[in-house]
A and B are shown apart, each in its own frame.
Chain A
Amino acid sequence: MTAVPRRVPQTDQTRPVTGDPQAARSVLTAAEVARVIDRMAHELLEKTGGGADVVLLGIPTRGIWLARRLAARVEAFEGVRLPTGSLDTTLYRDDLHLKGPRALDVTDIPVDGVDGRWVVLVDDVLFSGRTVRAALDALADLGRPRAVQLAVLVDRGHRELPIRADYVGKNIPTSLRETVHVLLAEHDGQDGVLIGPAHGTSPDGANPDATSPDSASPDAGVAQ
């Protein structure tokens, strides 16, 4: 059987930073993003007893890059190599029927699986919590982790489910009328977190992009 290279969804290549970047204000600079990820890596080592049995699973798209960054920092600090992968939540979302069609993202689980592991889900922005809910369901179909934790670069509030993060880069109180843009060098050419005015208003499913920074809609990349 020949492996076929996966097509990169077009929305990822052409993704604009929407919401008028002129009006967006910076909340984290590139240096601050690096510092925040360093701290999260330390916290992760502390809370997981040195990272034994930890598996980092990034939620596409920027969560994957964040998971890799965290793993790289953990390795730099302690010399521990954490298995890193990605977990697509699309098929488990509760808002599919409310949105435009979306291509599936890549799920890539480390070879040893998740059974008995300490799984840390990694995402860029925590908002309604619905993506994390879908990720927990997706994870349950893959095996039975010993524990599941959540790491996010930005917690912007407005939760709709009883979900909280174990590792938070920065709490940013926002109004529903604002958008949070997380930029990562691997994906956007530069690091940073910006807040801009929103086009949408609600974090629930009626807003096509509320819970998914990378849906297939033109607003992809924006957590409003």
Chain B
Amino acid sequence: MDWFIQPWPWWISGILIGLTVPLLYLLSGKAFGISTSFQQAGAMCFPDSKLEYLSRHDRKEKMWTVVFVAGIAIGSFIATRILPAEYSDFLPAEFDSLGGGIKLLIAGFLIGFGTRYAGGCTSGHSITGIANLNWPSLVATIFFFVGGLAVTWGLGQWIF
């Protein structure tokens, strides 16, 4: 069972992650994407909001997104408790601090704002979008990397 406990090879992970697209379509008719879950959660909390982005959001059609991300959390729970990998550090220890929490809050802000403004994340745009030959998704993916590289190579000295 060792192969199940070790981190998996890239090609296995890649194939299985890619299969999420047809699996989700075939079993539920839904397009693989994750960042909509932020909007769905917000719309569920404030369905009568003055903000049309929330009140005009179709909560029933997108309910699946919060079920899906709950599933992700459950899957990770299973993987870390029942199929433990060699590592347990999702985040480096430096993040276990007030400063670390603030960095993550800011990073999260950029993720939440950015993915919603772009209309998708690495799942919805990079994988599902490009797989369906959606050229805006290729553009989105390019700029995901522009942003990530700029931060890593530019501001990296202060952040890391």
- On whether the two chains bind one another, the answer is no
Chain B residues close to A by CB (< 8 Å): none
